[in-house]
Amino acid sequence: MVGRPVTGGDAGVHRCGLVALVGRPSVGKSTLLNRMVGAKVSITSRRPQTTRYRIHGILTEPGRQFVFVDTPGFQTRHRSRLNARMNKAVREALGDVDVVVWVVDGARLVQADRDVLALIPARVPVVVAVNKVDALGDKAALLPRLAGIAALRDFAAIVPVSAEKGTQVDALKDEIGKALPEGPPLYPEDDVTDRDERFLAAEFVREKVFRQLGDEIPYATSVGIDRFEHEGRLRRIFASVYVEKPSQRAILLGVGGARMKAIASGARRDLEQLFGGPVHLEVWVRVRKGWPDDEGALDRMGY
Ligand SMILES: Nc1nc2c(ncn2[C@@H]2O[C@H](COP(=O)(O)OP(=O)(O)OP(=O)(O)O)[C@@H](O)[C@H]2O)c(=O)[nH]1
Ligand SMILES: [Mg+2]
């Protein structure tokens, strides 16, 4: 990286590494990844188990490149083959990373958090992101909690943050940056993710399903892209949402297809922003019985 300005007094050294974000479901891993990358590449919702795939979010700064690895929330319930694959993705992500960010909720530390911590190999530096501090009613309660966390392992740093508001996220990034190994960048500097537009399109549709539907339906759905065409600046995208039962299909469509229209237009707006050009998006709903336990279907869906 000849001729680039360098940060942090690390003159002449370039740092780059894989940084896995791990934690129990819903602690804010994906929100934090998007915040650090500065672009929305990973989908988020208030429902646990929103993230199903490992995805890289890339941030290139002078002298360093962070390759953040978002992972599914590690689960102890909802035991389907899909869940088993999601847990496997977490374990695999931990196998070959340089730094781990263990994300916890500042409001409470529970056994499920400690179960995730136990998965992290002893050799890897761990930075703790104590997230959602904006939502804490009693800020004084945070101090003993931080002390309790510090006693669990020899951490590289413990940083209270708000992924949603951006509070202390730069401080977190700097602590992670210090733990990055020396090395050349893994990705071109303008890249924000390793995933292609097809993948992102499917994920943004799935995010809207997660955000707009009641309790059970999101877990019964998956999204596939049937066709993705470029026509000048326009992208034409044809997607299918798979559900397990006809009754779920009816709920997803809504009266006169209204719910599906809202899902498609929400996804289209996000995709236009991410791709920086117009998008035409059509979404069908199809029934595929038992897909979360069907190994062949899961293979085809890329889990
Ligand atoms: N108040 C507050 N809410 C947050 C913060 N960060 C994330 N959230 C919310 O927490 C919920 C879960 O966020 P996600 O980023 O999807 O969590 P996740 O850990 O990736 O969840 P899974 O992928 O399901 O494991 C969403 O409703 C977010 O808006 C934060 O700093 N403050
Ligand atoms: Mg997530």
pLDDT digits (tens, 9 = 90+) for 212-226: 887 778 888 999 999
| Interior angle at CA 60, CA 67 and CA 18, nearest 5 | 15
State which of 26, 82, 159 you would mutate to test the pocket of ligand 1, scoring each by most atoms of that ligand within 8 A of its C-beta. Answer: 26
Residues 102 and 250 both lie in one domain: no
**Burial code of 203-240, b = ≥16 C-beta within 10 A, e = fewer?**
bbbbbbbbbbbeeebbbbbbbbbeeeeeeeeebebbbb
Residues facing residue 243 across a β-bridge = 287
From the CA of 25, the nearest ligand is 1
User: What mean pLDDT is predicted for residues 35-43?
Assistant: 95
Residue 8 lies in a domain: no
Residue 6 lies in a domain: no
Distance 107 CA to ligand 1 centre (A): 13
Nearest to 17 by CA among 62, 53, 69: 69
CATH code, 160: 3.40.50.300
Is the beta carbon of 222 within 6 A of some atom in ligand 1?
no
Closest C-alpha to ligand 1, atom 23: 51
Is the beta carbon of 172 within 6 A of some atom in ligand 1?
no
**For 267-284, what is each residue's pLDDT tens digit?**
999 999 989 999 999 999
**For 195-252, what is each residue's pLDDT tens digit?**
999 999 999 999 999 998 877 788 889 999 999 999 999 999 999 999 999 999 999 9
- Read off the amino acid at residue 234: L
Q: Which atom of ligand 1 is nearest to the CA of 167?
A: 31
Residues 249 and 297 both lie in one domain: yes
Residues 28 and 101 both lie in one domain: yes
**For 99-124, what is each residue's pLDDT tens digit?**
999 999 999 999 999 999 999 999 99
Q: Which atom of ligand 1 is nearest to the CA of 47?
A: 24
Residue 220 lies in a domain: yes
Distance 105 CA to ligand 1 centre (A): 9
Which domain range does residue 219 map to?
197-301
Q: Which of 74-78, 137-141, 223-227, 290-294 has the lowest mean pLDDT?
A: 74-78
CATH code, 229: 3.30.300.20
> Which pLDDT does position 146 carry in this prediction?
96
Is the beta carbon of 73 within 6 A of some atom in ligand 1?
yes
Domain count, the chain: 2
